[in-house]
């Protein structure tokens, strides 16, 4: 009795990784489908390559996806995925105390819109908001002089952490905050009344710097 083994998945550079012209895209896609039917191609490789070929055949300007990534490329890809904001909603966001159910829902909706606009990933949304709540509670009880002292203390800690890049990173975070809050009148109004909400917290500013830096990196040509 013999045991049949499935054909090994192919690893041909010309079929799976090499760039092709628009004219070559459709024949290459047909060959790719034939290899898939024959069992010589993994589903993941087929989907990755077929999407590229189909888009190229449709006239899009796309680059051939790499079959294998370097360790640095794999880390960068994983980090990009980790830093993506959710499309519609955030889970387990903290709420201000004393809000009615309707007000809490409206607050959550506004914050979600602001955070999505700011590309805030799910895992940073809660700690940023918690840091803002703490800063709000602490700063509300201070005199104007003590508030300025608190802001100067935060700025000094960030200046020490960011070094020579302090001003550039601060400007980038400020631009990012502006982009986030300007699209919602209620949040923008709250920020106008309390412009120190983010800046009073080293933690919030550190997280926002991480997001703003990542977005600036991805926007580079």
Q: Which residue has the higher pLDDT, 2 or 22?
A: 22
Distance CA 184, CA 110 (A): 7
Residues 152 and 103 reside in one and the same domain:
yes
Q: Rounded to whole angstroms, how far apart are CA atoms 34 and 18?
A: 18
Whether residue 6 lies inside any domain: the answer is: no
Please say which residue of 48, 73, 98 terminates a domain: 73
DSSP string, 68-82: S--HHHHHHHHHHHH
Kindly state whether residues 156 and 94 are assigned to the same domain.
yes
Examine residue 8 and state whether it is found in any structural domain, yes or no.
no
- Supply the pLDDT for residue 174: 94
192-209: per-residue pLDDT in tens?
Answer: 788 888 999 999 999 999
Shared domain for 102 and 205, answered yes or no, is: yes
Range in 79-83, 131-135, 154-158, 217-221 with the lowest mean pLDDT: 217-221
- The pTM of this model reads 0.67
Can you read off the two tokens belonging to residue 101?
Answer: 């159910």
Same domain, 66 and 173: no
170 and 67 share one domain: no
Within 8 A by CB and 6+ apart from 16, the residues are 10, 45, 49, 67
> CA–CA separation, 56 vs 62, rounded Å?
6
> Is 24 within the bounds of a domain?
yes
**In this structure, are 91 and 193 located in the same domain?**
yes
CA angle 175, 76, 59 (to 5 degrees): 85
Domain that holds residue 38: 13-73
């Amino acid at each position: 009795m013999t045991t049949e083994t499935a054909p090994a998945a192919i690893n041909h550079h010309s079929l799976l990784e090499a760039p092709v012209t628009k004219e070559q895209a459709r024949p290459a896609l047909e060959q790719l489908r034939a290899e898939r039917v024959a069992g010589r191609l993994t589903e993941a490789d087929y989907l990755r390559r077929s999407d590229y070929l189909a888009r190229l055949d449709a006239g899009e300007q796309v680059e051939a996806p790499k079959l294998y990534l370097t360790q640095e490329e794999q880390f960068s890809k994983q980090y990009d995925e980790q830093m993506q904001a959710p499309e519609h909603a955030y889970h387990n966001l903290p709420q201000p105390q004393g809000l009615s159910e309707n007000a809490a829902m409206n607050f959550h909706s506004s914050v979600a819109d602001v955070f999505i606009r700011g590309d805030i990933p799910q895992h940073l949304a809660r700690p940023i908001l918690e840091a803002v709540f703490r800063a709000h509670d602490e700063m509300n009880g201070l005199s104007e002089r003590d508030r300025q002292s608190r802001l100067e203390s935060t700025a000094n800690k960030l200046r020490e952490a960011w070094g020579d890049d302090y001003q550039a990173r601060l400007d980038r975070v400020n631009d990012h905050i502006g982009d986030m809050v300007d699209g919602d009148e209620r949040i923008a109004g709250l920020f106008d009344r309390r412009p120190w909400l983010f800046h009073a917290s080293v933690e919030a500013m550190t997280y926002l710097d991480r997001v703003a830096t990542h977005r600036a990196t991805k926007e580079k040509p």
